[in-house]
Amino acid sequence: MDAVDVIRTKRDGARLSDEQIKWFIQAYTDGDTVADEQAAALLMAIVWRGMEPDELFTWTQAMLDSGEIVDLSAVDRPTADKHSTGGVGDKVSLPLAPIIAACGACDPMMSGRGLGHTGGTLDKLESIPGFRVDLSKAEVVGILQDVGCVIYSSSPNVAPADRKLYALRDVTGTVESIPLIASSIMSKKIAEGGDALVLDVKVGSGAFLPEISMARELAETMVRIGEAHGVKTTAMLTDMEIPLGRTAGNALEVTESVEMLQGKGPSDLEEITFALADEMLALCGVKADPRETIANGTALEKWREMVGAQGGDPDAALPEASERKTIPAPRSGFMTKLDARGVGIAAWRLGAGRSQKGDPVDHGAGIVCLAKPGDELDEGQPLLELHTSDPAHFEGAEAALDGAFEIGDEAPEPRPIILERITP
């Protein structure tokens, strides 16, 4: 097999054979036969030429085969997880995993860190003093058996081909490709070893893919890949034009998640979380009402158990930013717009996110949205509260918020949050 032949095949628009795919992924991951520039050339050819469904199945399988699949056979309850393509204020994983556990299923959630304007679940959880996300396989299975949910960091042994390919895509302009994104996400989620998966594909300014047509195509592609690999998979397209809930930033989002588990969550966060939980439970065959686990306190109890099992103290005070600044309403009226991307970039500039892999995050930094679209406001009323440990960050954050909100005379039409459901 020769790397140049494989590249030429795709460059000229033909389907790669199964042998070509398996050889190329393995040779590149192993590190000696295929060079970075050759892998980059093939990736660019895929960006332009795309992939057939069965070709993409083999590509994803080869990425899965480059590492290990977590063995959850010792777990004696049905398992289900969700994956979100990421958005501003998207803290759904934090209340969702304990809700699933309280309903009698297991959620083995392997998660990631934030990069750019969307936050990462692991960064949020690490704002809890003592919380550990690097767990051994035995710890993962033990916590799933004892508690029913675990949120942890993927190991280098899970889809190592994706680690290498994703790093290369990041620096070669080859991230934006439906087959490459779908195989990257699904190789990691299938490797998690669960029975069922619900994909929350965000649409709108704060999302990775702002256009609904692209988000739909990505969702359909990922559902096909999941089903072809024996994982029951569905997807929802959900709105990310405005931030989810009232906070964006690590510790702020943990606090809001706990409030939701206490029955005091914002309605948009509740709606998405319950809809995803309903879908996960239906897929893995568990009959239970997620709403009841909030009303009867069992989801909050599962949260406390999970935090404790992962080394955290559920009663510890969370980091708080030393500096705060509010942005007031420039006039009276109704808030008609709050742009998720602007809020996400502002939170990131306040220190909640990182620019480079490995950078530290300021766990207390972020934004509290004191008003959301539809709210009636008086001139001068506080709209947004900026939190940071470094006041030098306010200027950049305020620049990102310039034009990110609007106030008009009429209340806007309420926006639907759940836009579409995609089934196999």
Residues labelled catalytic: 81-84, 121, 169, 184, 188-189
Considering the rule CB under 6 A, would residue 181 count as an interface residue with ligand URA?
A: yes
- Kindly state the number of chain residues that form the binding site for ligand URA, as judged by CB under 6 A: 6
Considering the rule CB under 6 A, would residue 43 count as an interface residue with ligand URA?
A: no
Q: Are 279 and 198 in contact (CB under 8 A)?
A: yes
Q: How far is the CB of 304 from ligand URA (least distance, A)?
A: 30
Phi and psi at residue 159, to the nearest 5°? 40, 60
Considering the rule CB under 6 A, would residue 184 count as an interface residue with ligand URA?
A: yes
Rounded CA-CA distance 84/199 in Å is 6
Q: How far is the CB of 112 from ligand URA (least distance, A)?
A: 7
Instruction: Specify the residue, 189 or 302, whose C-beta has the smaller distance to ligand URA.
Output: 189
Considering the rule CB under 6 A, would residue 201 count as an interface residue with ligand URA?
A: no
Instruction: Specify the residue, 128 or 201, whose C-beta has the smaller distance to ligand URA.
Output: 201
Closest CA to 186 of 172, 201, 174: 201
**The dihedral of CA 131, 136, 137, 142: what is its sign?**
negative
Closest CA to 58 of 255, 247, 225, 248: 225
Q: How far is the CB of 80 from ligand URA (least distance, A)?
A: 19
Instruction: Specify the residue, 116 or 129, whose C-beta has the smaller distance to ligand URA.
Output: 116
Ordered DSSP codes for 91-107: -THHHHHHHHHHTT-BE
Instruction: Specify the residue, 101 or 110, whose C-beta has the smaller distance to ligand URA.
Output: 110
The residue with its CB nearest to ligand URA is 184
Stretch that binds ligand URA, among 23-31, 181-189, 335-343, 408-416 (CB under 6 A): 181-189
Among 3, 122, 185, 384, binds ligand URA (CB under 6 A): 185
Instruction: Specify the residue, 85 or 310, whose C-beta has the smaller distance to ligand URA.
Output: 85
Q: What is the dihedral of CA 21, 23, 27, 28, to 10 degrees?
A: 0
| Element at 76 (helix H, strand E) | none
Judged by CB under 6 A, the chain residues 157 through 176 that form the site for ligand URA are 166, 175
Alpha carbon of residue 45 to chain centroid? 27
Q: Are 92 and 85 in contact (CB under 8 A)?
A: no
Block residue for tokens 């050819």: 45
Q: How far is the CB of 303 from ligand URA (least distance, A)?
A: 26
Q: Are 238 and 202 in contact (CB under 8 A)?
A: yes
- Residues forming contacts to ligand URA in the complex (CB under 6 A) are 166, 175, 180-181, 184-185
